[in-house]
Chain A
Amino acid sequence: MTQPAAATGDPAPIRVVLAKLGLDGHDRGLKVVARMLRDAGMEVIYLGLRQTTGTVVAAAEQEDADVVGLSMHNAGHLALAPRIMRALTDAGLGVPVVIGGIVPEADVRTLKEMGISAVLHPGASAVEVAEAVRDAVSGPLGDRPARC
Chain B
Amino acid sequence: MQAAHCEPARRLHNGSMESEPAGGSRPFTTTSGVPADARAIGSHDAAVAARPFTTMSGVPVDAVYGDGPLPGEFPYTRGIYPEMYRSRLWTMRMFAGFGTAVDTNGRFKEILRHGGTGLSTAFDMPTLMGRDSDDEVWSAGEVGRAGVAVDTLADMEDLFAGIDLASASTSMTINGPAIVALAQYVAVADKAGVDRSRLSGTIQNDILKEYQAQKEYIFPPRPSMRIVTDMMRFTAEQMPRWHPVSISGYHIREAGATAAQELGFTLANGFAYVEAARAAGLDVDDFAGRLSFFFNSHSDFFEEVGKYRSARRIWATWMRDRYGATAERSLMCRFHTQTAGVSLTAQQPEINIARVALQALAGALGGTQSLHTDAYDEALALPTEKAARIALRTQQIVAHETGAANVADPLGGSAYVEWMTDEMERRATEIFDHLLELGGGSILAGVYEGIDNGYFVGQIADSAYRFEREVNDGTRIIVGVNAFTESDDGHQDGADLLRIEQDTEDFQLKRLAAVKQARDGEAVNRSLGAVRQAAEDTGANLVPPIIEAVNAYATEGEICDALAGVFGRYTEPAIV
Q: Which residues of A are found within 8 Å of B497, using beta-carbon distances?
A: 104, 106
Q: Top 8 closest A-B pairs, CB basis? A: A106-B494, A79-B141, A48-B574, A25-B215, A105-B491, A23-B125, A104-B494, A75-B145
Q: Please determine whether A46 and B574 come into contact, CB atoms closer than 8 angstroms.
A: yes
Please measure, in the bound complex, the distance between the C-alpha atom of A80 and the C-alpha atom of B142, giving whole angstroms.
Answer: 9
A102 touches B381 (CB 8 A): yes
> Quick one: given A23-B138, A50-B571, are A76 and B145 in contact (CB under 8 Å)?
yes
Contact sample, A vs B, 14 pairs, CB 8 Å cutoff: A25-B216, A28-B461, A31-B465, A35-B461, A47-B574, A48-B574, A49-B572, A75-B500, A76-B142, A102-B380, A106-B493, A107-B494, A123-B345, A126-B472
Q: Is the CB of A104 within 8 A of B381?
A: yes
* Residue A121 lies at the interface, judged by CB distance under 8 Å to chain B: yes
Q: How far is the CA of A28 from the CA of B494 in the complex (A)?
A: 25
**Contact of A4 with B by CB under 8 A:** no
The CA-CA distance from A69 to B525 in the complex, in Å, is: 42
Chain B: minimal CB distance from A132 (Å): 15
**Residue B514 CB within 8 A of the other chain:** no
Task: Identify the closest chain A residue to B573 (Cβ).
Answer: A48
Chain B nearest CB, measured from A85 CB (Å): 14
**A43 in the interface, Cβ–Cβ < 8 Å?**
no
Cβ of A138 < 8 Å from any Cβ of B? no
Name the distance in Å between A31's Cβ and chain B's nearest Cβ. Answer: 5
Q: B461: which A residues are within 8 A, CB to CB?
A: 28, 31-32, 35
How far apart are B296's CB and chain A's nearest CB, in angstroms? 13
User: Are B494 and A52 closer than 8 Å at their CB atoms?
Assistant: no
Residue of B nearest to A128 (CB): B472
**Cβ contacts under 8 Å, B494 to chain A:** 104-107
Q: Known interface pairs A106-B493, A122-B346. Does A23 touch B254 (Cβ–Cβ under 8 Å)?
A: no
Query: Does B54 interact with chain A (Cβ within 8 Å)?
Result: no
Which residue of chain B has its CB nearest to the CB of A54?
B137
Q: How close is B442's CB to chain A, nearest CB, in angstroms? A: 28
In the assembled complex, the Cα of A125 lies from the Cα of B461 at a distance in Å of 17
Q: Are A31 and B346 in contact (CB under 8 A)?
A: no
Dominant SS at the B interface?
Answer: loop
A32 to B471 CA separation, bound complex (whole angstroms): 12
Contacts of B382 in A (CB 8 A): 75
A35 to chain B, nearest CB (A): 5
Tell me if A's interface is mostly helix, strand, loop or mixed: mixed
Are B465 and A123 in contact, with the CB atoms below 8 A? Answer: no
**What is the number of residues of chain A that contact chain B, defined by CB distance less than 8 Å?**
37
Residues of A within 8 A of B256 (CB): 28, 31-32
**Given A23-B125, A75-B145, 5 extra CB contacts under 8 A:** A24-B146, A31-B464, A102-B379, A104-B494, A123-B481
Interface assignment of A34: CB less than 8 Å from any CB of chain B: yes
Question: Which residues of chain B are near A50, meaning CB under 8 Å?
Answer: 571
Taking CB atoms and an 8 Å cut-off, the chain A residues in 1-42 that contact chain B are 22-25, 27-28, 31-32, 34-36, 38
Q: Which residues between 256 and 313 of chain B lie within 8 Å of chain A, taking CB atoms?
A: 256
Bound CA–CA A25/B146 (angstroms): 12
A44 at interface (Cβ–Cβ under 8 A)?
yes
A2 to chain B, nearest CB (A): 19
Give the docked Cα–Cα distance between A78 and B464 (Å). 28
Q: Which chain A residues border B137 with CB–CB below 8 Å?
A: 52
Q: Which residues of B from 133 to 170 have beta carbons under 8 Å from A?
A: 137-142, 145-146
Which of B215, B471, B495 has the most chain A CB atoms closer than 10 A to its own CB? B215
Q: Is B173 an interface residue (CB 8 A)?
A: no
Q: A23-B142, A50-B571 are in contact. Are A123 and B346 (CB under 8 A)?
A: yes
A75 partner, pick from B215, B255, B381, B571, beta carbons under 8 A: B381
Interface centre among A31, A52, A105 (most CB of B within 10 A): A31
CB of A73 to closest CB in B, whole Å = 8
Contact A32 B381 (CB under 8 A): no
Contact between chains at A24 and B492 (CB < 8 Å):
no
Chain A 77-98 interface residues, beta-carbon cutoff 8 Å to B: 78-80, 83
**B126 CB within 8 Å of chain A:** yes
Q: A121 and B214 in contact (CB under 8 A), knowing A22-B125, A48-B572, A74-B142?
A: no
* B33 CB-CB contact with A under 8 Å: no
CA distance A76 to B140 in the complex (A): 9
Does A28 contact B381, Cβ atoms closer than 8 Å? no
Residue B4, interface by CB 8 Å = no
A32 to B380, Cβ gap below 8 A?
no
Q: Chain B contacts of A31 at CB under 8 A?
A: 256, 461, 464-465, 576
Could you say which residues of chain A place their CB within 8 Å of the CB of B490?
A: 105
B572 proximity list for chain A (CB < 8 A) = 48-49
The residue of chain A having its C-beta at the shortest distance from the C-beta of B380 within the complex is A104
Q: A66 to B347, alpha carbons, bound, how many Å? A: 30
B468 interface contact, C-beta 8 A: yes
- The distance in angstroms between the C-alpha atoms of A36 and B138, with both chains bound, is 29
Check A35 against B465 for contact (C-beta < 8 Å). Answer: yes
Closest residue of A by beta carbon distance from B485: A123
B502: A residues at CB distance < 8 A: 79
| One of A23, A32, A74, A104 near B464 (C-beta < 8 A) | A32
Which residues of B lie under 8 Å from residue A25 when comparing CB positions? Answer: 214-216
Q: Within 8 Å CB of B492, what residues of A?
A: 104-105
Q: Cβ of B356 < 8 Å from any Cβ of A? A: no
- CB within 8 Å for A23 and B129 given contacts A31-B461, A44-B576, A105-B491: yes
- Report if A76-B141 is in contact (Cβ < 8 Å); known contacts: A23-B125, A122-B345: yes
User: Do B491 and A121 have beta carbons less than 8 Å apart?
Assistant: yes
With an 8 A cutoff between CB atoms, is B131 at the interface? yes
